[in-house]
Amino acid sequence: MSKNILVKGLALPLAIILIFILLFERRDINLNQPRSNPIARAEYEFTKIKSPISGGIPEDIRQKELTFARTLPTRKEINEKRLYRGQPIATLNWQNRGPYNQGGRTRALAFDLDDENIILAGGASGGMWRSTDAGNSWSLTTKVEDLQSVTTVAQDPRTGERSTWYYGSGEYDGASAGVFWGNNPYRGDGIFKSTDGGLNWALLASTSTTSYHIWNNDFNHIHRLKVSPKNGYLYVATARKGKLKLSKDGGSTWSDLLKASDDDPAYVDVDITSDGTVYAAVSGNWSWGNSTNKSGVFRSTDDGTTWTDITPANFPGNYERVLMDISESNENVVYFLINKGYADTPGITYFWKYTYVSGDGSGSGGTWEDRSSNLPTINSQRGYCMVLAVKSDNENHVVFGGSNLWFSNDGLSTNGSSRLIGGYESLNSYGQYINHHPDQHSAAFLPSDPKVMISGHDGGVSRTEDITANQVNWSIFNQGYVTTQFYHVSIDASGTEKDMIVGGLQDNSTFKVNSANSSANWEDIGSGDGAYSAIGNNGKVIVISWQMGGMWIWNPDAHTGRRAIYLPDRPNNGEQFINPLAMDPSDYKIMYVLGGNFIWRNNDITQGSSQYEKLTTTDMGSQITNFGVSTTNPSSLLYYATSSGNVYKLANANTSTTAPVDISPGTLPSSCWVSSIGVNPEDGNEVILTVSNYEVVSVWYTSDGGTSWLDISGNLEENLDGTGNGPSVRWGIILPYNSQKNYLLGTSVGVYSTSVLNSASTVWGLEGQNSIGNLVVDALAGRTSDGTVVAATHGRGVYSASFSNPAADVTAPVVQNLSPGDDATGVGANDDLVITMDENLVKGTGNITIYNSD
């Protein structure tokens, strides 16, 4: 052992930094669930992230922020580079907490043709997953650094080639991390390929610009992938500015085959018979209608070299999204499901059947039947949720749907032949079909027994053993398929229920767990699109909410007694789609709720909605975006912010009806969105405020109750004024633990933290580099008693860590002496460098790295 380290012959500047590295539960519930609204959700998200400068989403911002994020240090790197100063290592050990038994939106789903126990499923923002036991358990196969968007998956069906799979990225409709319009749909960046049965994936360079989410690539939004059974050619049907593209060499090179409308939105779909005949459906634009490219249905027998237009004269002329499926049992039969718009009105959705007869399939060579009048009510929510699948052994057995899932035993040849088999429990009910979920996206039949079907929807994956039964029964197959998208998360601040987590999920209600086991099943305790929640009375009272301000109070011990506590005249008070609420930390019975320009106070939530009081003095003429409440020193100090860029505080908010005090930083732009106000639980005058819009300074700090504010965005901004490619900052908390204050941010590119604030020079480090990575993190929650922090991600559920159990809780050796000393300007090539530490170092227990100061 030695305290002196001799480094021979270093010709380096003397500035050195030492790094010391020690080294299937079935969910049988039928709550009255309000139906989701993707349009309202998209509007809410747009308002949160739009640039106040342009009024829109900055062009290419997702790609730019991801590229920018690669320049930011990790927490581990920051700690390592400070070790020579004796700083403690506090790299957190993040663990995924689930929900283990609840999946998210699933657009990609397929059985392996060589082994039916292998299933591949893709989350819209949760990556690609693989099951080897028929869906009873799942493993993530997407690398953390890869794009997590999966929209479609296809296997090479040829014998001997079935280890080759492809999946496409880029969801056009649906991701609340982006929006439906403007420059920030949740774009992808190409196609991933596997040659080992879906175990590992590599991005096809020919389909990527390495510029995530830029609309400069035909592969930004991939609607469908199909591999020809004849020759293995790969066909790609894209969305938005739809195209059909072909690769004859496994994705190395591409040619264009067909092109849809020049106007947004447009889709292409494709399917292929066993002999290689290709059918393509090209949509026209439903809203603008000035397209210069032909829409309709086309057929090719020569791998897309030439096409025959087989569109009938009375086919819908202007439509948005189109799906098609060829019957495997009779490949002359092709079905089409067509969406023309958003509203749930007759004529919006069409259903057609085509039967090939002879020749090139056009004119008398094919017959068309418009069976749209036999459709049940289909609500595809502007094409957001659509599915069409023909049972592989019967050309008349068709599964189709929008919000609901339907089955017809005669291909909709007669009116009334369809029966509802999934989604909502009935047409006019908000109750959920048992073990199924609303909003349909994908379906696959078991090859050896096609009456067995798996269904992909907004709630993950369900399976039925008999799709033809009069009463179709489903089982949930979500164990370990962690693909949920969270809006908010809460924990028991008292620490009494230290393992309790409650969170609101997009499309998937509110879920709760009270176990440290990452494989524990979570319990559905809510409704609709889960939103804010709060835990009080030592974990014995939970408030949960859903879209547009719906709220319940609930006793987790009794599992009974849900009681509505939403605002009077809800939702006509200006409630946000995801509406903030907060318990007063000093008295769980007191709760604050936003309502447009006002804050409402419920003086006793245990008594229900009758105890609300509208705090009229909080109206400052613009919408309140968020608030935060102090715990102590002082207690019940309420901070809130408005969309006009002002910040206020209301002392004694638990009892006060007086006017609040304006404490605005003075530099927030109008039309900005303050996404969170985090108050130090031990000091009510210390606050961190986050702004989620792009192109603004994102993080503000006060230690004196708002008398003065500091910009602490630091390295999260590309430019000092907030412009550039910095991320959207969604949440911020201050978490004191063990005599150290930790500051954490949830952003559109992951979780960042620091323990040292330095105004605009603050250095933030990425947390969970190999776990959370650059996932969108919409909310954080922390607890002072044990240093616990939880992060709510958009696509991979919830993660947790604790400052009481970091990845390596040690103090590094301190440099006591350097030879040559600090005043030296360099070390000669033949000189020795001697570093004397304050303790003995044990060989083999770590590394010392010397950095060149250049």
**pLDDT at position 340, please?**
83
Rounded CA separation 525/216 (Å): 43
Residue 553 CB coordination number (10 Å): 23
Share of the chain above pLDDT 90, in %: 71
**pLDDT at position 289, please?**
38
pLDDT in tens, 463-505: 999 999 999 999 999 999 999 999 999 999 999 999 999 999 9
**pLDDT at position 839, please?**
59
pLDDT in tens, 203-216: 999 998 654 444 45
Nearest by Cα to 153 from 116, 105, 201, 109: 109
Nearest by Cα to 103 from 121, 89, 120: 121
**Is 708 part of a structural domain of the chain?**
yes
User: Which of the four pLDDT bands, split at 50, 70 and 90, describes residue 853?
Assistant: low
Token representation of residue 218: 């035909």
Domains identified in the chain, total number: 1
Residue 3 predicted with pLDDT over 80: no
User: Which of the four pLDDT bands, split at 50, 70 and 90, describes residue 632?
Assistant: very high
* Residue 633: partners with Cβ closer than 8 Å, 6 or more residues away: 682, 683, 684, 685
Average pLDDT taken over every residue of the chain = 88
State which H helix or E strand residue 595 sits in.
strand 587-595
**pLDDT at position 558, please?**
66
Rounded CA separation 478/26 (Å): 9
Query: Among 16-25, 145-154, 597-606, 695-704, whose mean pLDDT is lowest?
Result: 16-25
**pLDDT at position 812, please?**
56
Residue 683 predicted with pLDDT over 80: yes
Instruction: Find out whether 177 and 124 touch, Cβ atoms under 8 Å.
Output: no
Give me the amino acid identity at 75: R
Question: What's the sign of the alpha-carbon dihedral 455, 461, 466, 471?
Answer: negative
User: Which of the four pLDDT bands, split at 50, 70 and 90, describes residue 11?
Assistant: very low
Instruction: Find out whether 453 and 467 touch, Cβ atoms under 8 Å.
Output: yes
Full-model pTM: 0.87
Structure-token match 């067909």, residue found: 258
Strand order across the 647-650 sheet: 624-629, 638-642, 647-650, 661-662
More confident of the two residues 764 and 38: 764
Phi, psi of 416 (to 5 degrees): 85, 5
Instruction: Find out whether 693 and 184 touch, Cβ atoms under 8 Å.
Output: no
More confident of the two residues 751 and 383: 751
Tell me the average pLDDT across 171-175: 70
More confident of the two residues 22 and 349: 349
Please measure the distance between the N-terminal and C-terminal CA atoms of the chain and give it in whole angstroms: 32
**Is 555 part of a structural domain of the chain?**
no
User: Which of the four pLDDT bands, split at 50, 70 and 90, describes residue 815?
Assistant: low
Give me the amino acid identity at 848: I
Tell me the average pLDDT across 144-154: 91
Residue 266 predicted with pLDDT over 90: no
Instruction: Find out whether 417 and 374 touch, Cβ atoms under 8 Å.
Output: yes
Structure-token match 């910009």, residue found: 711
Phi, psi of 567 (to 5 degrees): -60, 150
State which H helix or E strand residue 42 sits in.
helix 38-49
Token representation of residue 430: 């908000």
Structure-token match 């500035």, residue found: 15
Rounded CA separation 579/573 (Å): 11
**Is 580 part of a structural domain of the chain?**
yes
Residue 179 predicted with pLDDT over 60: no
**pLDDT at position 29, please?**
36
Phi, psi of 112 (to 5 degrees): -80, 125
**pLDDT at position 216, please?**
53
Q: Give the domain extent around 675.
A: 38-74+562-802
Rounded CA separation 650/851 (Å): 50
More confident of the two residues 486 and 348: 486
More confident of the two residues 820 and 316: 316
Phi, psi of 551 (to 5 degrees): -145, 145
Residue 797 C-alpha from the chain's centroid: 9
**Is 461 part of a structural domain of the chain?**
no
Give me the amino acid identity at 339: N
Structure-token match 């007669």, residue found: 414
Phi-psi region of 218 (alpha: psi -120 to 50; beta: other; left: phi over 0): alpha
What is the β-pairing status of strands 777-783 and 788-793? Answer: antiparallel
Nearest by Cα to 114 from 160, 154, 152: 160
Residue 191 predicted with pLDDT over 50: yes
CATH of the domain at 764: 2.120.10
Distances (CA, A) of 394 to 87, 290, 410, 417, 620: 69, 39, 10, 15, 64
**Is 674 part of a structural domain of the chain?**
yes
**pLDDT at position 30, please?**
36
Token representation of residue 710: 């500091």
* Residue 15: partners with Cβ closer than 8 Å, 6 or more residues away: 851, 853
Q: What is the dihedral of CA 645, 650, 651, 654, to 10 degrees?
A: -140
Nearest by Cα to 339 from 420, 418, 281: 281
**pLDDT at position 619, please?**
97
* Residue 732: partners with Cβ closer than 8 Å, 6 or more residues away: 676, 678, 688, 689, 690, 699, 743, 744, 745, 746, 780
User: Which of the four pLDDT bands, split at 50, 70 and 90, describes residue 187?
Assistant: low
Half-sphere exposure of 171 (CA within 13 A, CB side): 29
Token representation of residue 441: 């996206």
**pLDDT at position 807, please?**
64
**Is 568 part of a structural domain of the chain?**
yes
Helix locations, 101-236, DSSP H: none
Across 69-135, the runs of DSSP E, i.e. the strands, are 95-98, 106-111, 119-123, 127-131
pLDDT in tens, 454-474: 999 999 999 999 999 999 999
Give me the amino acid identity at 540: K
Rounded CA separation 653/634 (Å): 11
Distances (CA, A) of 637 to 534, 579, 642, 681, 685: 18, 20, 17, 11, 9
**Is 750 part of a structural domain of the chain?**
yes
**pLDDT at position 850, please?**
65
**Is 783 part of a structural domain of the chain?**
yes
Distances (CA, A) of 424 to 196, 338, 640: 38, 21, 38
Residue 162 predicted with pLDDT over 80: yes
Residue 301 predicted with pLDDT over 50: yes
Distances (CA, A) of 385 to 220, 287, 388, 397, 729: 19, 18, 11, 20, 29
pLDDT in tens, 104-118: 999 999 999 999 999
Helix, strand, or coil (residue 715): helix
**pLDDT at position 259, please?**
84
Q: Which of 439-453, 561-575, 660-674 has the highest mean pLDDT?
A: 439-453
Instruction: Find out whether 22 and 813 touch, Cβ atoms under 8 Å.
Output: no
Residue 165 predicted with pLDDT over 70: yes
Query: Among 185-199, 232-246, 552-566, 654-668, whose mean pLDDT is lowest?
Result: 552-566
More confident of the two residues 533 and 88: 533
Rounded CA separation 98/801 (Å): 13
Token representation of residue 203: 């991005």
* Residue 572: partners with Cβ closer than 8 Å, 6 or more residues away: none
* Residue 619: partners with Cβ closer than 8 Å, 6 or more residues away: 597, 598
Rounded CA separation 824/832 (Å): 13
pLDDT in tens, 12-68: 333 333 322 222 222 333 344 455 666 788 889 999 999 999 988 887 787 789 889
